[in-house]
Structure 1
Amino acid sequence: MLNRFLITLCVLFNSSLFYAQSLDESYTILNVEPSKTDARIANSNTPHLIMYNQKQKQGKLLLFLPGTGGIATKGPKQLFAVAVQQGYHVINLSYINRPAVAQICKGENLAKNRKCTEEFRTRRIYGTNKFDFIGDASYDAIENRFTKLLIYLAKNDKNTNWSAYLEDGKPKWSEIAVSGQSQGGGMAAFIAKTKKVARVIDFSGGWDYSAKNKIADWYFYESVTPSHLWYGTYHATEPKAKTIHETYEALNIPKDHIYAFDLPVPEGKRGHSNGVRNIGYAPQWIELLGSGD
């Protein structure tokens, strides 16, 4: 069964009430274990998180991919609430996110294969190639998990038309915006290179290399998704901020679509994840998301 629960969100911005809304019975949050959608899946079987407002006109779908070690149900719900406010349905996908690209494609592995990161991401997203350094099965791939979840929701959740995001049994990418943080942001960017998505928002999305101090070749490949639909963010305090900015330039993201966040980072927290967690960026989130209608 689909688990439903209500949340109430009240946040402060610049010492005034910027965004406050009770997510009443019209809002739905679902938790679905990947194995419920595909019995072959056993690894990284923590639930997907789904969020939408059934009283709104159904708009586009925002697919969000967590970073390394990220748990979908613990994702940035304030960001997702803003996305729902903008007209989106939201899926925070549970997928295998350990080990990370940067943990595998380095040193000798990278020296022997300059396409290491490209092959890694292809395996983790699509499961269509052979890549011996990670144990992801083909059915563990992001695309399969996402597809099977949409099919499951179309069958089991009649409050909305999940079939609108499917076409011939595959994701209808033109109706789907892709986003993610860190490793997940890199996955979103990689998807948008080869699938024409509705929008792509990369939050501090990785720093793939093809050789020492040389960003990966795949960043420079021609993109199927037009450049005006690309957005990228990072925090100015991140150790890899300069490299992330370099990857965004290689991805041909317009200058005014690159956001260098700089609000103070709370003590004990990291700038790397601040962009999806700090409600102070709500005005920027709205710009990044645009209208999901």
Structure 2
Amino acid sequence: MVKKLLLLMLIVCFHNQNFAQSEYQFPNGYTVLNIEPAKTDSRIKEANTPHLVVYNQAAEQGKLLLFLPGTNGIATRGPKSLFSVAVHQGYQVINLSYINTPAVAQICKGKNLEKNSKCTSDFRTMRIYGTNDFPLIEDQAHDAIVNRLTKLLIYLSEEDKNGHWEKYLENGKLKWSEIAVSGQSQGGGMAAFIAKEHLVARVIDFSGGWDYSAKKKIAGWYSNESVTPSNLWYGTYHVTEPMAKVIDASYKAMQIPEDHIYPFSLPVPEGKKGHSNGVRNIGYADQWIELLGKGN
């Protein structure tokens, strides 16, 4: 309890769970940068709202926490309280701006799913890597999550020497072992998909899974062998979410250890949704610390 109170004093001065995240101010001393994707790669035209970059120059700088927003998510809007906890835990944080509409659940359904049982994995491959032909969305190769993150880190390495961003790159490519991947909803699914194929420092999936391969059958990629070992996997959902049972089933298919699955249950403020409560409700600060571990 003492640890929690001290942490709350650090990150939420005059702040509570009903306070608008967009108005939240990071603690004094934190470096906060808003960088438009087009500044890092002139080919990028779509989803050009700024990336959010946060770290504490005075602290030992450790792993990078990559956060991927959900559908319609705007990177500069947070969840900022969660990011403050992450910085406190020794991470440097990037909330990445990427094309997040339409969502996979909006495309890979009905006839599209009937024609292609691997629709969701093909969709995510295009949005993450931009390396395949998937005509159901208009994303270009340079719009892909991996390109956006790589170009942002190259830009930061040149323009923000204090951040030492080059340590997350190796020969111009992402050094996944130094990057913890996380995200909300669609973004959580993207983080999980990445962790299946790369050895990442950690993966935290916030309410991110209800991909299907057929009606009422969860997608096959959830059961694919994971390069990232199971002890580094974490998943959360709120018990009031309409898709809670499906999300839980996806976590079990991904072999996330039972004690690494967090079914959140704090009351959801009136007018808000349980689906996003896990990344917004400061009442989960202790759980966030467990999910994040130490970044340095």
In which range does the TM-score fall when normalised by the shorter chain? over 0.9
From the superposition, tell whether residues 127 and 267 of structure 1 become closer, same or farther in structure 2 (CA, over 3 Å). Answer: same
Match of 1:186 among 185, 189, 197: 189
2:11 and 2:81 in contact (8 A); partners too:
no
One-letter amino acid of the counterpart of residue 23, structure 1: P
Q: 1:98-113 alignment to 2 at 5 Å?
A: 98-113=101-116
| 1:23 equivalent among 27, 34, 50 | 27
Q: Give every structure 1 segment of 4 or more consecutive aligned residues whose post-TM-superposition deviation is greater than 4 Å.
A: none
Which position in structure 1 is the counterpart of 2:173? 170
Deviation at 1:9, TM superposition (A): 3.3
Instruction: Give 5+ residue unaligned stretches, structure 2.
Output: 1-9, 18-24
Q: Report the equivalent of 1:154.
A: 157
Q: d(CA) in 2 for partners of 1:8 and 1:263?
A: 20
Q: Does 1:275 align with 2:295?
A: no
Specify every segment of 5 or more residues in structure 1 that has no aligned partner in the other structure, as ranges: 1-6, 14-20
| Equivalent residue, structure 1, for 2:81 | 78
Percent of residue pairs identical: 72
Q: By how many angstroms is 1:22 displaced?
A: 7.1
**CA-CA distance at 1:206 after TM superposition:** 2.8
| TM superposition shift of 1:12 | 5.6
1:184 match: secondary structure: helix
Question: Separation in 1 of the partners of 2:273 and 2:60?
Answer: 37
Alpha carbons of 1:198 and 1:142: their partners in 2 closer, same or farther (altered >3 Å)?
A: same
- Give the drift of 1:198: 0.1
Mapped partners of 2:38, 2:231: distance in 1:
37
Matched, 1:197 2:200: yes
Higher helix content, 1 or 2: 2
Larger strand proportion of the pair: 1
How far has the Cα of 1:158 moved from its partner?
1.4
- 1:49-68 mapped onto 2 (5 Å cutoff): 49-68=52-71
> What letter corresponds to residue 27 of structure 2 in structure 1?
L
Aligned CA-pair RMSD? 1.4
Query: Quick one: which amino acid aligns to residue 291 of structure 2?
Result: L
Q: Aligned partners of 2:207, 2:127: CA distance in 1, in Å? A: 19
Residues 149-187 of structure 1, C-alpha deviations (whole Å, 9 max, x = no match): 000000000112000000110111000000000000000
Paired residues, what number? 279
CA–CA distance in structure 1, aligned partners of residues 108 and 52 of structure 2: 29
Take 2:255 and 2:164, find their aligned partners in 1: how far apart are those partners? Answer: 34
TM-superposed CA distance for 1:48, in Å, is 0.0
**Is 2:136 the partner of 1:133?**
yes
- Taking structure 2 as the reference length, the TM-score comes to 0.92
Partner SS state of residue 64, structure 1 = strand
Matched, 1:242 2:245: yes
